């Protein structure tokens, strides 16, 4: 074909079909759409994630990809899924329950692909910006729904929660609010005050929404830990002391003027007293009940556990008294990630889980915004998993997979570039 002659639509499509760059760009777009949809929808996330898998598969150098699976950051998530799959063989649950219980771990299989793809793509930050923009939009919608509940996108919505639930919403807002601390400090040091003020306003807006509209108790407990990690890593002790004094004053002010915050905090002790004195199934009381029984289940099968999908059956056998009491409650999720794994796959599963968290934490050693985002995602998941099985929950689990996978790939890319540019690798004349 001569230069200057317009190609036909069929030729153009065929050229794109054969272009790895086009497939790579399509994979980036589907990753961006997945992140943008995550605060709003579960079905869209599933659709876009499957589309990402399909498009990313066309860009793989399978020899290089399979070689990358030898890295602990890749094979440990696969090992946890394989343990869930193999654990179906010694479970006493129905096969339907066993297969259903494998599902929550399946999302971990996406992690190696994300590492591989974003080690080569330059658009990883676009995905994080899309998630931040989506959460900002959700935060604005949350204020609107707080004033007019009829505008919520689901029936019987909770106060100020237009979609999903207040736990998922709080986890997203908390992650965005704390993640923005790094670019704010960086911009202030570079004397770019207007942009720093803009990001600070967005971060503060998330915090204010959680104080006055809706916040989960898990977020209340874990946000100070996340802020402490940031201070230890990125601030001098004098700056840390000054900032925490300011935060303490702001927290006191928020406590004085926010009924929602006071109510959420005071329910900790109230729920515990109701559980201990009346044996009623409160949130904290049920967790204590579930954890006590889960430790007993673990002691009964400490090495390889009771098998995949066995949790609900064990709680049914351990239930005592009527369902209206805490001791009579039956559940398939003990609301603790470690115990969730320990019941089903014993100490073997716990070792794999903690090894995965550890290697993902070590991946994000060093400075930079990407390393901070990846580290924060892991830290948030580890500490919120004390009170929930967040790695296996849909929303929080995908936050982990996308955050760690994309930031991890970008970190590996940066290290490869640094290694290639080092004097030891330079060609001598």
How many domains are contained in the chain?
Answer: 1
* C-alpha count within 13 angstroms, C-beta hemisphere, residue 255: 9
Q: Is residue 426 part of a domain?
A: no
User: Distance between CA atoms of 161 and 215, rounded to whole angstroms?
Assistant: 10
Q: Is residue 3 part of a domain?
A: no
Nearest to 213 by CA among 149, 276, 291: 149
pLDDT at site 292: 87
- Report residue 127 CA to chain centroid gap: 14
User: Distance between CA atoms of 391 and 111, rounded to whole angstroms?
Assistant: 13
pLDDT at site 282: 63
Q: Flag residues of the chain having pLDDT under 50.
A: 1-4, 426-429
- What residue numbers bound the domain in which 337 lies? 26-411
Place of tokens 């060609």: 427
Q: Give the torsion sign (CA, 62, 67, 71, 76).
A: positive
Q: Is residue 7 part of a domain?
A: no
pLDDT digits (tens, 9 = 90+) for 378-429: 999 999 999 888 999 999 999 999 999 999 999 999 888 877 776 655 444 3
Q: Is residue 14 part of a domain?
A: no
Nearest to 318 by CA among 289, 278, 357: 289
Q: Is residue 16 part of a domain?
A: no
Residues 6 or more apart in contact with residue 313 via CB below 8 angstroms: 92, 93, 97
pLDDT at site 13: 61
pTM: 0.87
pLDDT digits (tens, 9 = 90+) for 274-284: 655 555 556 66
CB 362, CB 323: distance < 8 Å: no
Q: Is residue 273 part of a domain?
A: yes
Q: Is residue 13 part of a domain?
A: no
pLDDT at site 421: 73
Q: Is residue 53 part of a domain?
A: yes
User: Distance between CA atoms of 429 and 420, rounded to whole angstroms?
Assistant: 17
């Amino acid at each position: 074909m001569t230069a200057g002659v317009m190609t036909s639509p069929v030729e153009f499509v065929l050229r794109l079909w054969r272009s790895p760059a086009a497939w790579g760009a399509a994979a980036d777009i589907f990753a961006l759409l997945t992140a943008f949809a995550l605060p709003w929808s579960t079905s869209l996330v599933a659709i876009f994630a499957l589309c990402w898998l399909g498009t990313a598969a066309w860009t793989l150098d399978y020899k290089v990809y399979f070689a990358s699976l030898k890295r602990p950051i890749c094979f440990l998530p696969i090992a946890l899924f394989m343990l869930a799959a193999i654990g179906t063989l010694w479970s006493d649950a129905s096969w339907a329950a066993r297969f259903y219980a494998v599902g929550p771990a399946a999302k971990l299989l996406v992690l190696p692909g994300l590492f591989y793809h974003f080690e080569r793509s330059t658009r990883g930050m676009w995905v994080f910006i899309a998630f931040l923009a989506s959460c900002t939009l959700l935060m604005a919608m949350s204020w609107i729904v707080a004033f007019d509940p009829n505008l919520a996108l689901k029936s019987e919505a909770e106060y100020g929660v237009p979609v999903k639930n207040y736990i998922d919403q709080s986890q997203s807002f908390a992650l965005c609010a704390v993640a923005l601390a790094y670019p704010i400090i960086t911009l202030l040091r570079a004397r770019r005050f207007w942009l720093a003020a803009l990001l600070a306003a967005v971060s503060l807006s998330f915090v204010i929404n959680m104080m006055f509209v809706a916040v989960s108790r898990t977020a209340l407990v874990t946000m100070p830990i996340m802020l402490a990690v940031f201070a230890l890593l990125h601030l001098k002790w004098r700056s840390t002391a000054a900032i925490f004094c300011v935060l303490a004053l702001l927290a006191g002010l928020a406590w004085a003027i926010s009924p929602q915050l006071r109510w959420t905090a005071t329910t900790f002790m109230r729920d515990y007293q109701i559980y201990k004195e009346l044996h009623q199934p409160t949130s904290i009381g049920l967790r204590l009940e579930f954890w006590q029984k889960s430790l007993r289940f673990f002691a009964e099968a400490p090495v390889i556990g009771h098998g995949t999908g066995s949790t609900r059956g064990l709680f049914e056998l351990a239930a005592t008294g009527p369902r209206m009491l805490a001791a009579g409650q039956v559940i398939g999720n003990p609301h603790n990630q470690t115990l969730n794994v320990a019941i089903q796959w014993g100490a073997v599963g716990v070792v794999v889980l903690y090894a995965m968290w550890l290697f993902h934490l070590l991946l994000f050693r060093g400075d930079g915004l990407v390393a901070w985002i990846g580290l924060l995602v892991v830290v948030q998941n580890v500490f919120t998993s004390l009170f929930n099985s967040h790695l296996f929950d849909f929303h929080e689990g995908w936050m982990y997979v996308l955050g760690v996978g994309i930031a991890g790939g970008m970190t590996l890319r940066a290290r490869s570039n640094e290694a290639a540019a080092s004097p030891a690798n330079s060609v001598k004349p």
